[in-house]
Chains A and B, each alone.
Chain A
Amino acid sequence: MSSVVTVSEKPLSCSIKPPQFLGIGDTQFHSGCAVIELSLPNMGSVDIGKITFVNNYTAHLSIKMKVHETTKVGKSHLSWKTGIHKLVLMPNAHCEEGSQGYFTLYPKDFFRPPLVVSSLRFVLYQPSPSWKTFSLEEIYVYPAVAKDSQTPSIPRWLLRDFEEMATTNDTKPRDQVQSEGLPDLDDLSVKMQQLWMITQNTNESVPNVDLGRFDVDGCYEINLLSYT
């Protein structure tokens, strides 16, 4: 039985600190670099399946992750690893493209699989001085979930008949005995097939072409336009 890794539909609840801009002392200058810390409280460590965010004028993004590592001695300790290095969010840092875009990162985008991560640091770069501020918004981390790939088991009542049928060579009389009072199964299945054909046909013939009507029940009497 193999297991397939899928992404949970619910994002993890995590605490995200506002971006810390890199500076020297209290002086204000445009360093073009900021860090957002994201920690996953009460979770220990998680395997990340997906990260989504909305850009807000960040040109490049690096992600550092704090992961559990096991040394040769067998001791586990935490260490910072680079997950993503200078991913381009805005192709031209001076221009708008990508500045407010939606981004999704999958494990395949990372240098190393984002497994047993306990916290993340987003390092934001904006070399262009054209923008007053930059950050990332709506950061969501989705955990990876292992799911068994086994197909749902067939209920036993369905299997039983099957097994019984397999044991006897001539199933027909037995069937008839069992289905006394019911219409002939062969006859029924032929009709069912026809029914299936009809539904199939109607399904296929549903046009996706718009009929082009703009009125409601033949009425298109309007006085004013709506502002909403």
Chain B
Amino acid sequence: MDPKINEIAASISEIVKKLNGSTLYSQLKRAAQKEVEKPTASLATLKTDVVEALKTSGWDRLLRNKIFAYLSSCQASLDQSLPFECQKEPLMYMRKAQANWERRILKSMNSMCTELSIPLARKRPPEEQRALLHKWNEMGTEEPDLSHFRPVYAPKDFLEVIISLRNPNYCGLLGPEVDEKPSGGHWGLIQVPLEIPKLKDLQNQFSEFAHGHGHAGVDDNLDVPSEAFQNERNKIAKKVLDEKRSVLAQYFCRNGCPSGHRAEIWQLALGVTVNHLDVLKYEQLKGYVLQHDLLVDSLIYKDVKLTAVNDDYYFVFEDYLYQVLLVFSRDTSVLNHFAQSSAMPPKSFIRAQKEPSGTSAEQESSLTEAIPVFDVDKLTSPNQSNFNYTLIKSKPTFPPHLGICDDEGKLGQDEYAVVYPPNGVIPFHGFSMYATPLCYLYAEPVGLYYIFRQFYTRYFHRLHAISSHPQGIVSLCLLFETTLQSLHPRLCRHLQEIGCQPLKIAFKWLVRAFAGYLATEQLLLLWDRVIGYGNLLLLPILAVAIFLFRQSNLFLITSASGVEASLADITTLHVVPLIQLVLFPT
């Protein structure tokens, strides 16, 4: 039998399983029941009648959109017979590198906790909860002292880790003895032999960029005035929205959305609907934010202050960003994306378990105020039994049945294990820029939130995890280096001679998907294509294009810092013509 058939069968059953119990499922069931109850229903043609009625009343489109969203968000169903971690990431050295990287992040978080003597999570007292609720819409006015907080890591640190990735079984073209030299296999910084698409593959994949296709964001055809083109696109956009089909909307994005319809088209293409249940869910998550104060919240504050607030385009959205990002950190449905990513969510063990009954309020309050002491030297040891994890105040006075973590404590006990933060994502320097550009499109925090979540779980999570996935950051970096080398070897040579590795400059663009570097309209045109093609491959292509476009300037520069300075401001660039320059040069 064709193995494809098995795959299709597996994904069908996977989707059916997911649909079962979803809101859409019960809605469909109810609609079908109503159909059956109609007096015109006859037993003989019941099945076809119901199916037909569901089609005409538009339910089948919703079902199709839902299935399309499932298909584009999860590629492969997991095979029970294989080890879970091998399906997340097949290459062992990648797994190890990712695990080491995660451990580094954890250590950094833990040492921040110990230095500042603050817990990772604590329950807010009721007054504080009320105060936070009161200023929910103007959290930016609050100026907490965040000078002691530092971002857990910056893209620069992450690049170093990616550069140091090596396959222990790889010996490059020149034999194993040149391993130490940086120029062993590839000329660039990435030394991992991943398969990347060739220019020809890219041309096939992105064939809509060929000349002759009308694109929003480029005025190259003098025969058609740009206004007429805009009107035409607007008309089509309206039609697409009326059709209410995700596939069409996604395809429409390939040529760029008109700004007036972008928000709706993106929602349709990504399968994001905001109904009353979603609003309810958002409110619930907001409640969770009020309940607990997390260290991650301070990191988010700090990051928004450092990035969006400092940006001329985005500072006005400060309050929105806090709301959306704080809510995001409490959303456990984000955890689902870890099944497709090489990353693992950080784990912790709760400090104390509440007594189900009979705990006096006094005991409880002393419990929440207990200050932890840890032995900093021992923290660096990965062995958990070395944790010295005690509660100063409460330990001697607490009755044993309260289940406090003492030396051996709750650590390692699965029933007290929790994911931290609840969504498993620790923000890094620049993380908030994934959400910031979307603020231009969605005036309501709820709509903004669900689009952002979809963007992150579909695409952006790949930009900061080490994996061999074709959309992973390692592959994207390699694609950037290889494409630049093959298109303009002389420029590469020049840059290397003056001690400037192009990836060191392009990496920050890639990690943030260009958010905060391009002008907003241009960035949205780029993200149109991310949705339209459902992948991130255009990011490295654009990065290559920027180097090619500025080549005459770059050839004149003779120092690495000069190159960096000349590429610091790319807000004047136009995305679509640049991508065309690489893919379909004239």
Chain A interfacial positions (CB closer than 8 Å to B)? 56-57, 91-92, 94-97, 99-102, 108, 129-134, 206-210, 212-228
Tell me if B230 is interfacial: C-beta within 8 Å of chain A: no
The residue in chain A whose Cβ has the minimal distance to the Cβ of B331 is: A212
In the bound complex, do residue B333 and residue A226 qualify as a contact, i.e. CB atoms below 8 Å apart?
A: no
Can you name the residue of chain B whose Cβ is closest to the Cβ of A95? B195
Residues of B within 8 Å of A208, CB to CB, are: 17-18, 20-22
Q: Which residue of A lies closest to B422 (CB)?
A: A214
Interface assignment of B110: CB less than 8 Å from any CB of chain A: yes
Contact B354 A217 (CB under 8 A): yes
Q: Is the CB of B121 within 8 A of A221?
A: yes
State how many angstroms separate the Cβ of B422 from the closest Cβ of chain A: 4
Query: Apart from A100-B90, A100-B91, what 5 extra A-B contacts exist at CB < 8 Å?
Result: A217-B356, A221-B350, A221-B367, A224-B113, A228-B382
Q: Is the CB–CB distance between A100 and B92 below 8 Å?
A: yes
Q: Which residue of A lies closest to B349 (CB)?
A: A226
A-B contacts, 26 of them at CB < 8 A, read A95-B193, A96-B194, A96-B468, A97-B195, A100-B86, A100-B92, A102-B82, A130-B173, A131-B169, A206-B21, A208-B20, A209-B21, A214-B330, A215-B292, A216-B350, A216-B353, A216-B418, A219-B123, A220-B418, A221-B121, A223-B351, A224-B110, A224-B348, A224-B374, A225-B346, A226-B417
Interface presence of B384 (CB below 8 A) = yes
Q: Given the complex, which residues of B lie within 8 Å of A225, measured CB to CB?
A: 106, 109-110, 120, 346-348, 420
Contact of B351 among A92, A108, A130, A221 (CB under 8 A): A221
Tally of contact residues, B, Cβ under 8 A: 76
Report A139 CB to chain B, min CB distance, Å. Answer: 15
- Which single residue of chain B is at the shortest CB-CB distance from A214? B422
Are A96 and B419 touching (Cβ within 8 A)?
Answer: no
Q: Majority SS of interface residues in chain A?
A: loop
A223 and B418 form a contact (CB under 8 A)? no
Q: CB within 8 Å of A: which residues of B?
A: 1, 17-18, 20-23, 82, 86, 90-92, 103, 106, 109-110, 113-114, 119-123, 167-173, 176, 185, 192-195, 281, 284-285, 288, 291-292, 330-333, 346-354, 356, 367-368, 372, 374, 379, 382-384, 387, 389, 411-412, 415-420, 422, 468
Residue of B with least CB distance to A217: B354
| A222-B172 in contact given A130-B193, A227-B106, A228-B384 (Cβ < 8 Å) | no
Give the chain B neighbours of A212 by CB distance below 8 A.
281, 284-285, 331-333
Contacts of A220 in B (CB 8 A): 121, 123, 291-292, 350, 418, 422
B193 and A96 contacting across the interface, CB-CB below 8 Å: yes
Give Cα A95–Cα B387 distance, bound, in whole angstroms: 42
Residues of A within 8 A of B412 (CB): 228
Instruction: Say how far A5's CB is from chain B's closest CB, in angstroms.
Output: 16
B87 to chain A, nearest CB (A): 9
Q: How far is the CB of B108 from chain A (nearest CB, A)?
A: 10
By a CB distance below 8 angstroms, the chain A residues around B195 are 91-92, 95-97
Query: What residues of chain A lie closer than 8 Å to B333, measured between beta carbons?
Result: 210, 212
Q: How far is the CB of B392 from chain A (nearest CB, A)?
A: 12
CB neighbours (8 Å) of A221 from chain B are: 119, 121-123, 350-352, 367-368
CA–CA, A133 and B176, complex, Å: 11
Most buried by B among A56, A100, A225: A225
- In the complex, what distance in Å separates the CA atom of A225 from the CA atom of B120? 8
B472, chain A: closest CB distance, angstroms: 12
Q: Which residue of B lies closest to A207 (CB)?
A: B21
Closest 10 CB pairs of A and B: A214-B422, A95-B195, A208-B21, A222-B120, A223-B372, A222-B121, A221-B351, A225-B106, A207-B21, A222-B348
